[in-house]
Amino acid sequence: MKKIVLKSIGAVAAGLIAVIILSNGTDILLESSGIFPPVEEQLKHGFTTTWMLLLFMVIGGYITAWLSPNRPMRHALILGLIGMVLGILGAIAAWGVAPPWFLIMITVLGLPAVWLGGKLKTMKKHNPLTTR
C-alpha cells in the first residue's frame, strides 16, 4: 500500500477511536463517580450524555481532518459515513433496550457532527484588522 493510503486510514481510524474512547471513558468516569446515574437508570429515564456524544463526534471529525494527508473534509465525511453505518447497526442491536430517539439521533446527527469538526479544522483564520 502507498504511504498516503495508510495515513488516510490512520486518520479516519484515529477519529473513530477518539470518539469511542472519549464517549465510553467519560461515561465510565462520570457513572463511577456518581455524577451520572448508572446505565440501567438512564435506560429507564433517558440518557444524560447526548450532548457529550455529539461534542465527541465533532472532536473526532476535527482529529480526522487534522491527521489527514490531504482532503481533510473528505476524510471527515468518510468517518461520518462509517459512524452512520455503525449507528445503524447499533440501533438495530439496541432497539427495544435504549430509547428510540437516542438511537435515531446518534445515527442521523453523527455525519453533521463530524462534518462540523472537519470544517472547524479547515476554516481559515480571519483577522478583520488585517483584511481589507
At 71-112, the pLDDT tens digits run 999 999 999 999 999 999 999 998 988 888 888 988 999 999
Domain for residue 27, yes or no?
yes
Domain for residue 55, yes or no?
yes
Domain for residue 127, yes or no?
no
Domain for residue 125, yes or no?
no
Distance of CA 26 to the CA centre of its chain: 13
What pLDDT shows up at residue 84? 94
What pLDDT shows up at residue 46? 63
**Which of the 8 DSSP states describes residue 92?**
H
What residues are paired with 98 via a beta bridge? 95
Residue pair 111/80 in contact (Cβ under 8 Å)? The answer is: yes
Domain for residue 100, yes or no?
yes
Grid coordinates representing 95?
432497539
Q: What is the pTM of this model?
A: 0.85
Domain for residue 37, yes or no?
yes
Domain for residue 86, yes or no?
yes
Distance CA 56, CA 30 (A): 15
Average pLDDT of the chain is: 88
Q: In this predicted model, which residue has the larger pLDDT, 42 or 92? A: 92
Q: Is the pLDDT of residue 4 over 70?
A: yes
- Per cent of the chain over pLDDT 90 is 56
pLDDT for 59-73, tens place per residue? 999 999 999 999 999
Q: In this predicted model, which residue has the larger pLDDT, 116 or 46? A: 116
Residue range 23-42: mean pLDDT, rounded: 83
Q: Which of 8-22, 34-48, 75-89, 116-130 has the lowest mean pLDDT?
A: 34-48
How many CB atoms sit inside 10 A of residue 123's CB? 8
Number of domains in the chain: 1
Distance CA 21, CA 41 (A): 22
Range of the domain at 17: 3-120
Domain for residue 111, yes or no?
yes
